[in-house]
Structure 1
Amino acid sequence: MANIGNRNTTEGYSITRPPLFDNLPFDFWKTRMSTFLQSTDYRMWMLIQEGYSPPSREINGIKTEVAFTEWTFDERDLAQLNAKCLNCFFCALKSEDYMRVSTCKTGKEIWDKLCITYEGTNEVKQTRLNFLLHDYELFRMKPHESISVMYTRFTQIVTSLHALGKELLNYEKVNKILRCLPSSYDAKITAISESKDLNTYSIDNLLGSLIAYEQGVNQRNLDAGEKKKEKTIALRAHK
């Protein structure tokens, strides 16, 4: 997965500006963009989901678009929301992607075209989902890896699964994290399992507990190393 820890992750951190899609993993940007649209006006997100059609009337059995002057207040409001959707996308996309979608008339058209471009067809997405689920099942903490680094890798997989429609419940993630830890964490795993209800124990509390345990172990190892070093120096001094 591409590295997201660069300037692009902060480029669009604004409550008034859409997140810039520039060398970011699509699933990362997709989540940010959907959240931005929902927070701006949730009706914009509904237009992305359901689509938008210009106002029309059925005259003599034929559906005909009507002039702007005949639009109702609600119809003008929906048209304005669709225009805002278009503007959000056009402000967020680099020139290459803008050219792909510049002829689209609705936010849904742009969203669907970007999803097909970067995620592929449903068959391609299902294949990618299967690979990610495989990565999730085999996920393990690496030797000499910190809890924070391990959790970052874990979150990237979970985020990618979310972007493809696979939601993992909190208790599933908590249990997976506990199962991925090496044997050196067995005592901590047992303590958490016996003292906490894993069905309600939050992933944030688990992470904090594991980091605190890791720091304690590291400090004890450091102290033991210092004592061993001092003992070695003392023995050499007496020779």
Structure 2
Amino acid sequence: MAQPLSLNVSNCVGGSNRAPILVANEYHHWSQRMEMYLKRLGRDVWRSVEKGLHVPFLTPVQADGAQVRLGGGQAAMNHPMKDDLDKMESDAVAFYEISCRVAPDNFDIMIICNLAKEPWDVLNNFYEGSQQHQDKRLTTSLNEFKNVKAHAAESLEESFKRFNLIVTKLSNPGTVRSNHETNI
């Protein structure tokens, strides 16, 4: 039998110098914290998660009006610029941070990934599900919200916590509500 992973709150939340650890039933919180952490490492680190690996634009090398050719007839290409190399390094940093902050079970899911965007998308799909699944969850939450009532033996505090949990489900990404709608 596998030993349960022991985590304390500071590991789950992360900090200014370490990314949060993904706990299975807290993916939504982890993804928000991880996004903030990766953005803090640099705009290119988060950009590589959102958009994928930066591919530098290489052009054929020109010499006296004629292209320089390599053996085999290929045109020689210029080298990536420092900015391109920095952006490519950012993808490696993002991939490392994501892959090192997941539990072994999740690491097995994303072992086939090569770029930072891939494990992010794999984990999102695994925990959040398809668009159809997300729509179903939203419909369920909306019905819960419409039918929320205090239970007979429930204290006001317990009722308020349950109500706040329902409101939080409705304010997850993909559901845009104004402050006015949330307050109503």
1:55 is matched with 56
Aligned length: 163
The aligned residue for residue 23 of structure 2 is: 22
Contact preservation (8 Å) 2:54, 2:87: no
Paired position in structure 1 for 2:130: 121
Match of 1:146 among 139, 156, 163: 156
Any gaps of 5 or more consecutive residues in structure 2?
1-5, 61-66, 68-74
Counterpart of 2:23, as a letter, is D
Matched, 1:11 2:11: yes
Cα offset, 1:151, TM superposition: 4.2
Residues 47-91 of structure 1, C-alpha deviation per residue, up to 9 Å, x if partnerless?
A: 22222243353669xxx9x79xx2211111111211111111112
Determine if the alignment matches structure 1 residue 99 to structure 2 residue 108: yes
The structural deviation recorded for 1:114 is: 0.8
Contact 1:86 1:107 in 2 (8 A): yes
Q: Distance in 1 between matches of 2:57 and 2:112?
A: 21
The 2-side partners of 1:160 and 1:88 are apart by 27
Letter in 1 for 2:131: N
Amino acid at match of 1:15: S
Deviations 1:16-58 (A, max 9, x none): 1111112432222222222222333233333222222433536
Letter in 1 for 2:11: E
The 1-side partners of 2:47 and 2:19 are apart by 17
Distance of aligned partners of 1:164 and 1:134 in 2 relative to their CA distance in 1, 3 Å threshold: farther
| Partner Cα distance (1:33, 1:132) in 2 | 25
User: What is the distance in 2 between the residues matched to 1:157 and 1:121?
Assistant: 21
Answer 1 or 2: which has greater helix percent. 1
Q: Are the counterparts in 1 of residues 95 and 115 from structure 2 also a CA contact under 8 Å?
A: yes
Deviation at 1:110, TM superposition (A): 1.1
Structure 2 match to 1:202: none
Q: Where do residues 41-52 of structure 1 align in structure 2 (5 Å cutoff)?
A: 41-52=42-53
The residue identity in structure 2 corresponding to 1:110 is: P
- Structure 2 vs 1, CA of residues 31 and 140 (structure 1 numbering), >3 Å: closer, same or farther? farther
Query: After alignment, is 115-124 or 43-52 more displaced?
Result: 43-52
Q: TM-score, normalised by structure 2?
A: 0.72
* Matches of 1:171 and 1:95, distance apart in 2: 42
Alignment match of 1:132 (pick from 120, 137, 141): 141
Q: 1:132 to 1:168 in 2, by over 3 A?
A: same
Look up the SS of the partner of 1:85 in the other structure: helix
Q: TM-score, normalised by structure 1?
A: 0.58
Match of 2:70 in 1: none
